[in-house]
Amino acid sequence: MALTGVEIFKLLPKTNCKKCGFPTCLAFAMKLAQRQASLDACPDVSEEAKKILGEASAPPIRPITFGTGDKAVKMGEETVLFRHEKKFVNPTVFALEIKDTEADDVIEAKINDVVTSEINRVGQLLRVDSICITNESGDAGKFAALAEKVAQKAPDVPVIVATESPEAAEAAIKPFSGKNAILYGVTDANADKMVEIAKANKAIVGAKADGLEALSALTEKIKSTGVEDIVMDSGARKASELLEHNTYIRRAALKKSFKPLGYPVINFVQRDDSMFEALIAGLGVTKYASIVVLSSAEKWKNLALFTLRQNIYTDPQVPMQVEQKIYKIGEPTPDSPLIITTNFSLTYFIVSGEVENAKVPAYLAVMDCEGLSVLTAWAAGKFTGSKIANFIKESGIENEINHRELIIPGYVAILSGAIEEKLEGWKVTVGPREANALPAFLRSRAA
């Protein structure tokens, strides 16, 4: 639990020496409580106070970087249970499982699926982030060979090495030594040996236990050996258990400051049916998993999962924006209508959806209004006659269309005069107020 200013004050020297830059120890304590100051600023604080304050100020869910370089991903650091309270911080990592019993061509194809998985959606690059190699065969040599192959063909991809055998772990972790890999399969029975291997190779420890009590005991045991970076598997596999365990873990860490469960969670969601597997993975994305391990990564499945992750992890306080540009809907010709709206993503989605519904090809000019909707942008002075005129002129649309007619949202009918004044030779037509009237509006014009 975070300490209050008064609790922190009791641990300070109470000399009011001002060396920290604040007038009193109490003022400094208040800033510390708000996390707007660092304890390092106090030269006289005792070692004991440092320890207590250090533990109290650590984030309730430990931040961990998985992998190295450009493809490294961050996990943990979450602060809430519901996304409307505050942004979910580090998006769920998708890992594709490859077993050392799979045929060579299957292995090659899966590695290829991961390295070619990247797509661009609403301006963000999204991909399958990681590969999880599993020692299904029980054979250390086979496992090491798979590790070699993955390291070679997907050199920068963060890797999870999954085995409960220290011998196999030792053999397979080598190519990923020093690369912030995860050594998963550390149990109560093998912890001593496995933790040594993880330490020697600078790997994150993937703890596996049966249930939350056993998991708490296991992470404490691992931590007592000096390991800080742990990801946790509670053993949950069924949807009902995943929801229960993930919820309890998030709550225990955030609301009870229960340190033994203050680490990122890994969920294994493999199913025989890939579509069904995607739904279980979706449960992980919405309900608190930091890593979801999948058995396949088809393009249609990736698209659905990437999109869900993007939706759930957007900042609810910052309106989602789309890029300012002239979007083509259908296959517009130089005679197709030109419609303008603002770049609030929801506005864009609704308007573009209705234009698509109309089945009338059109140009949709989406203007950057800092993600505000039409009326709000107009009220804030961001959707004005002169700004619209500038945008249209600079967009280059005049070279693509034969006509000079701009359709504006009905709510800003008042702007027509101002736009016509600034946009010489253009005619402004007032469209419907609500997007759902666009299909009828466009069809009647086309008729």
Sheet holding 93-99, edge to edge: 230-233, 204-208, 182-186, 159-162, 130-134, 93-99, 291-294, 266-268
Q: Where are the beta strands (DSSP E) in 49-171?
A: 64-66, 73-75, 93-99, 119-121, 124-126, 130-134, 159-162
- By rule CB under 8 A, what string of x and - marks binding of each residue 198-237 to other proteins? --------------xx-xx---x-----------------
Q: Give the whole-angstrom CA distance, residue 248 versus residue 242.
A: 10
Q: How many residues bind other proteins (CB under 8 A)?
A: 61
Binding of residue 2 to other proteins (CB under 8 A): no
Judge whether 366 and 341 are in contact, CB under 8 Å: yes
**For other proteins, which residue of 80, 346, 379, 380 counts as binding (CB under 8 A)?**
346
**Least distance (Å) between residue 405 CB and other proteins:** 22
Please work out, in degrees rounded to the nearest 5, the angle formed at the alpha carbon of residue 90 by the alpha carbons of 85 and 96.
135
Least Å distance, CB 58 to other proteins, is 15
**Binding flag, residue 316, other proteins (CB under 8 A):** yes
* Angle in degrees, CA 60, 63, 65, rounded to 5: 165
Q: Which of 17, 276, 334, 427 binds other proteins (CB under 8 A)?
A: 276
Whole-number Å distance between alpha carbons of 432 and 410: 5
Q: Does 279 bind other proteins (CB under 8 A)?
A: yes
Residue 397 interacting with other proteins (CB under 8 A): no
- Considering only residues 61 to 90 of the shown chain, the ones binding other proteins according to CB under 8 A are 82-84
CA atoms within 13 A on the CB side of 175: 21
Residue among 60, 158, 185, 260 that touches other proteins (CB under 8 A): 260
Contact 61, 75 (CB under 8 A): no
Using CB under 8 A as the binding rule, whether residue 304 contacts other proteins is answered as yes
The token pair that represents 142 in the structure block: 């086979």
Measured from the CB atom, the residue of 279 and 430 that comes closer to other proteins is 279
Tell whether residue 128 is a contact of other proteins (CB under 8 A). Answer: no
The verdict on 323 binding other proteins (CB under 8 A) reads: no
Please list, in sequence order, all residues whose beta carbon lies within 8 angstroms of the beta carbon of residue 141, skipping any fewer than 6 positions away: 171
Binder of other proteins out of 157, 161, 169, 283 (CB under 8 A): 283
Site residues, other proteins (CB under 8 A): 82-84, 119, 121, 212-213, 215-216, 220, 238-240, 243-244, 247-248, 251-252, 255-256, 258-261, 275-276, 278-280, 282-283, 286-287, 298-305, 307-308, 310-312, 314, 316, 320, 345-346, 349-350, 353, 356-357, 436, 439-440, 443
